[in-house]
Amino acid sequence: MADRIVRGLARKSLSVAEVEARLYTEGVAEKDALEILDRFARFGYLDDHRMAEQLVTQLRERKKLGRSSIMQELRARKLDADAIATALDELDGDDEYRTAVELARKRLPSLRSLSDEVAERRLTGFLARRGYSGALVQRVVRETVRKPGSSVRFR
């Protein structure tokens, strides 16, 4: 059983809780499961803190997600609450702002034919669904849509 878990870890990072759930699903006795988890942690195969940091970086840089969506993803992976808090503390507010502005500017050309009100509403929804806070979304929408000389032509 441990060999299958190691092969699984080679393909995809797993949290301690995910490995524990797999072990119990496979019918591994609790004592044996705890021993396997301890051994994997000692060898560095399981480290919720490192995994949380990697996921935060990946979700921020590749998927361009905001803080709340990143937190939701980390919780879905059943990571330790302390690991989640530590990883989220590393997020830079300025970085999040720049990413939100980048996303908004990328989205603006598709909103050209819409009125200001509709464009703002759609851009607000788009950024909010990505997990950006309300205050940040309002600031970004105000600075990108209402900015004179923006790439959007409104009627």
Q: Give the per-residue pLDDT at 94.
A: 86
The tens digit of pLDDT for each residue in 6-30 reads 677 777 788 999 999 989 888 989 9
The phi and psi torsions of 14 (rounded to 5 degrees) equal: -125, 145
Is 65 a residue whose pLDDT tops 70?
A: yes
Asked if 78 and 17 touch (Cβ cutoff 8 Å), the reply is yes
Q: Quick one: pLDDT band at residue 149, thresholds 50, 70, 90?
A: low
Residues 102, 116: Cα–Cα separation, whole Å: 19
The phi and psi torsions of 117 (rounded to 5 degrees) equal: -60, -45
CA-based torsion, 72, 74, 77, 81: positive or negative: negative
**Higher-confidence position of 143 and 6:** 143
Residues 22, 72: Cα–Cα separation, whole Å: 21
**What does the mean pLDDT of the chain come to?**
88
Asked if 53 and 87 touch (Cβ cutoff 8 Å), the reply is yes
Residues 35, 20: Cα–Cα separation, whole Å: 11
pTM: predicted TM-score of the whole model, two decimal places: 0.81
The tens digit of pLDDT for each residue in 74-91 reads 999 999 999 999 999 988
The phi and psi torsions of 132 (rounded to 5 degrees) equal: -85, 145
Residues 73, 91: Cα–Cα separation, whole Å: 15
Asked if 70 and 56 touch (Cβ cutoff 8 Å), the reply is yes
Is 151 a residue whose pLDDT tops 70?
A: no
- Burial class of residue 2, CB neighbours in 10 A (0-12, 13-18, 19+): middle
Is 67 a residue whose pLDDT tops 70?
A: yes
